């Protein structure tokens, strides 16, 4: 009796990833499309370089690159008396306003998601109202409005400092934008997550704190940091109330005292670029850290009942 055995079929090896990954958003370009994209990129780069050359040439004709116009920035007193104090003022107002705006956004973003109309409607009115007011006018009204109204009523009102006006203006405007980011981030979490949380007995506060917010944080982080960059740049609007920030002290004062307005603008612009790049790198680090963290990164519950967390929602969704 002959017994025949079949050789075990080898397991299929996973396909190697090609150098050109197929995107889920669009088809990978073919040879002609890649050639066309390269040509367009080259033409755009040439045009951009031509524009830069034209600007530099015009500035050179206006003698804006003379050494005497740049010499003040080699003087330590210019940095210690104007630029660095202005930078400290910008960072101080940015940090304070960023913290307050984040708290404002969380409170009113959650308020817009409330089941009670007497919380949801006022929250929506406040958010939409402050988003619609130009920030420059908002800072001006906060600085000049209360004293003017008090004088009209023959009453005394404490003077509103420039720092206070800028912080409140940045908080109200950017906080309203952050409130929409918070609301959108929470609504972006799949509904099944909250339904599963309610099924295991969590109340709405626990669902929001343990399930929705941790998962929404990762999705909201890029938009939040982008808004913080906007807040940093918007702090320059404090010139309307003569706040001593980087723009006012480093650009207006230095340019007026040394007659080098264009060089001062270039130097201050470079400082703002470095600040925003540093904030961008911080955002990338935070996003990567949050995605690696089991506490903040959203994970999918296993379909196997034996692999579900034993108590509450555990690390499955939180």
So what's the pLDDT on residue 220? 85
Calpha distance 231→91 (Å, rounded): 11
Q: Does residue 156 lie in a domain region? A: yes
Q: Does residue 67 lie in a domain region? A: no
Report the phi/psi class of residue 297: left, alpha or beta, with left for phi > 0 and alpha for psi in -120 to 50. Answer: beta
Contact (Cβ atoms closer than 8 angstroms) between residue 160 and residue 122? no
Q: What percentage of the chain reaches a pLDDT higher than 90?
A: 33
Range of the domain at 183: 74-296
- CA-based torsion, 182, 188, 191, 193: positive or negative: negative
Q: What is the pTM of this model?
A: 0.74
Query: Is it the case that residue 258 has pLDDT exceeding 70?
Result: yes
Q: Does residue 36 lie in a domain region? A: yes
Same domain, 228 and 284: yes
Query: Which token pair is 117?
Result: 């109309």
Query: Is it the case that residue 282 has pLDDT exceeding 70?
Result: yes
More confident residue, 2 or 38: 38
So what's the pLDDT on residue 170? 96
Q: Which of 162, 219, 137, 147 is nearest to 186 (CA)?
A: 219
Contact (Cβ atoms closer than 8 angstroms) between residue 179 and residue 109? yes
- Of 41-50, 144-153, 207-216, 278-287, the range with the lowest mean pLDDT is 144-153
Same domain, 55 and 117: no
Same domain, 225 and 98: yes
Q: Does residue 311 lie in a domain region? A: no
Q: Does residue 69 lie in a domain region? A: no
Q: Does residue 13 lie in a domain region? A: no
Query: Which token pair is 101?
Result: 């705006």
Q: Does residue 241 lie in a domain region? A: yes
Same domain, 185 and 217: yes
So what's the pLDDT on residue 230? 92
Same domain, 129 and 49: no
Q: What is the mean pLDDT of residues 125-131?
A: 94
Q: Does residue 313 lie in a domain region? A: no
So what's the pLDDT on residue 221? 82
Same domain, 46 and 193: no
DSSP letter assigned to residue 235: G
Calpha distance 180→249 (Å, rounded): 34
Same domain, 51 and 170: no
Same domain, 133 and 244: yes
Q: What is the mean pLDDT of residues 66-86?
A: 87
Answer with the one of 6, 41, 62 that is the final residue of a domain.
62
Same domain, 123 and 46: no
Contact (Cβ atoms closer than 8 angstroms) between residue 214 and residue 257? no
So what's the pLDDT on residue 318? 36
Calpha distance 199→23 (Å, rounded): 37
Same domain, 135 and 270: yes
Query: Is it the case that residue 176 has pLDDT exceeding 90?
Result: yes
Q: Is 22 helix (H, G, I), strand (E, B) or coil?
A: coil
Instruction: State the chain's mean pLDDT as an integer.
Output: 80
Give residue 290's pLDDT band: very low, low, confident or very high (50, 70, 90). Answer: low
The domain that holds 290 is classified in CATH as: 1.10.3720.10
Same domain, 138 and 52: no
Calpha distance 107→171 (Å, rounded): 13
Same domain, 58 and 81: no
Please name the residues in contact with 105: beta carbons below 8 A apart, sequence gap of 6 or more: 174, 175, 176, 177, 178, 179, 181, 182
Domains in the chain: how many in total?
2
């Amino acid at each position: 009796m002959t017994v025949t055995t079949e050789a075990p079929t080898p397991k299929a090896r996973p396909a190697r990833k090609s150098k050109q990954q197929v995107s889920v958003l669009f088809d990978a370009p073919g040879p002609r499309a890649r050639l066309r994209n390269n040509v367009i990129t080259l033409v755009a780069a040439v045009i951009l370089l031509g524009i830069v050359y034209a600007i530099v040439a015009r500035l050179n004709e206006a003698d804006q690159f003379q050494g005497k116009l740049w010499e003040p920035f080699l003087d330590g007193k210019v940095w210690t008396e104007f630029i660095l104090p202005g930078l400290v003022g910008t960072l101080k107002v940015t940090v304070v306003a960023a913290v307050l705006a984040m708290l404002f956004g969380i409170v009113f973003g959650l308020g817009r998601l409330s089941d009670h109309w007497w919380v949801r409607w006022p929250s929506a009115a406040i958010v939409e109202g402050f988003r619609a007011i130009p920030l420059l006018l908002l800072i001006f009204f906060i600085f000049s409005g209360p004293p003017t109204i008090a004088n009209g009523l023959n009453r005394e009102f404490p003077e509103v400092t420039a720092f206070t006006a800028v912080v409140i203006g940045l908080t109200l405007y950017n906080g309203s934008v952050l409130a929409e980011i918070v609301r959108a981030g929470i609504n972006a979490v799949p509904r099944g997550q909250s339904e599963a949380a309610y099924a295991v007995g969590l109340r709405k506060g626990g669902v929001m704190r343990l399930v929705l917010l941790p998962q929404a944080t990762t999705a909201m982080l890029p938009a939040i940091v982008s808004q913080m960059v906007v807040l940093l740049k918007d702090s320059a609007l404090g010139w309307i109330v003569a706040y001593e920030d980087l723009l006012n002290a480093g650009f207006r004062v230095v340019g007026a005292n040394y007659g080098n307005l264009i060089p001062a603008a270039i130097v201050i612009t470079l400082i703002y670029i470095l600040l925003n790049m540093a904030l961008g790198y911080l955002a990338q680090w935070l996003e990567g850290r949050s995605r690696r963290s089991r506490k903040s990164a959203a994970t999918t519950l296993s379909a196997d009942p034996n692999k579900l967390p034993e108590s509450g929602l555990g690390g499955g969704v939180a």
